[in-house]
Structure 1
Amino acid sequence: MFNTQRGSESFKETDLSEAYLFEASLPEINCSGSDLSRIHLPYANLSQANLCQAQLMDAEMGDIKLYQAKLSQANLQGANLSRANLRFADLQEADLTGANLQGADLHGANLNCCNLSNTDLRRANFSKATLDGAKLVNTNLFRAQDIDLSTALIDRTTIYPDGYQQGEGEEG
């Protein structure tokens, strides 16, 4: 297991792609601007980490703790964040296209202007999360909880929490 003392490590703009850090404990780590693509971080603790502008494409981060993490402008395309703790995380302008966030806890998260297109958000908790200008095209929100879509950008392919899809049964 990889561990650091709180806030003692900085890997800013470092290439950690394809690293295997199962159950790593890295609270408050600074990996802003780093290449973490295809990294394996299941069950890791990155609470309050700085991952702004990090490249996390196709990262394996199921059951990760990202409580109050800074992920603004991060590239998380195709990442697995199933059952992730993203409570109060800052994901503003992050790209989560094609990511898996099934059962993720996004309570109080800032998802403003982020791209959630083609993302699986089934059973995710959105209590007190903000989605101003977030793009949810072809996004699956089935059984998502407490989501406010009033300021999000959605289309006919978006699956709502109740399973409804606007384009369902219509011929075009």
Structure 2
Amino acid sequence: MSGADLSGADLQEKDLSGRNMSRANLSNANLSDAFLHKVNLDSANLSKANLFRANMLEANLNRANLRGANLIGADLSGADLRGADLSGAKVGFDDRIMVKLTGAILTGAIMPNGKVHD
């Protein structure tokens, strides 16, 4: 699935765990409630994707484009987000963060507010 064009695809509740989806185009895809445990999404395009309540435990999101993605309720525990772009991503309501980031690697990631994480 590396480099696959899945833009706009309905992948709701699908189990894609452990798959190599590096460089895949998942822009505008519906991945709500999907199981993406240890999936390789290195350099993937997830712009404006719906990742509501997606399980992305230990996923590789290195350099992934998550601009404008809906991450509310997603579990990104242990995920590698180095260099990922989360500009404008939905992560909660008001000042409440509703994304689990326990142990996530955020070095160099562009956060939803546009600032680069140290």
Scaled by the length of structure 2, what TM-score is found?
0.91
Partners of 2:55 and 2:91 in 1: CA distance:
13
Q: Is 1:51 the equivalent of 2:21? A: yes
Pairing 1:10-29 to 2, within 5 Å after superposition: none
Matched residues, number: 113
Residue 138 of structure 1: how far off its partner (Å): 2.7
- 1:103 matched residue in structure 2: 73
Contact 2:90-2:112 within 8 A present in 1 as well:
no
Partners of 1:117 and 1:91 in 2: CA distance:
14
Structure 1 residue runs of 4 or more that deviate by more than 6 Å after TM superposition: none
The share of aligned pairs that are identical, in percent, is: 41
Residue 136 of structure 1: how far off its partner (Å): 1.1
Residue 121 of structure 1: how far off its partner (Å): 1.4
> Relative CO higher for 1 or 2, CA cutoff 8 Å, sep ≥ 6?
2
Residue 120 of structure 1: how far off its partner (Å): 0.7
- 2:90 matched residue in structure 1: 120
Pairing 1:17-166 to 2, within 5 Å after superposition: 31-122=1-92, 123-138=98-113, 152=117
**CA-based RMSD:** 1.5
One-letter amino acid of the structure 1 residue matched with residue 15 of structure 2: N
Partner secondary structure for residue 45 of structure 1: coil
One-letter amino acid of the structure 2 residue matched with residue 75 of structure 1: N
Give the unaligned 5+ runs of structure 2: 93-97
Bigger radius of gyration: 1
- 1:167 matched residue in structure 2: none
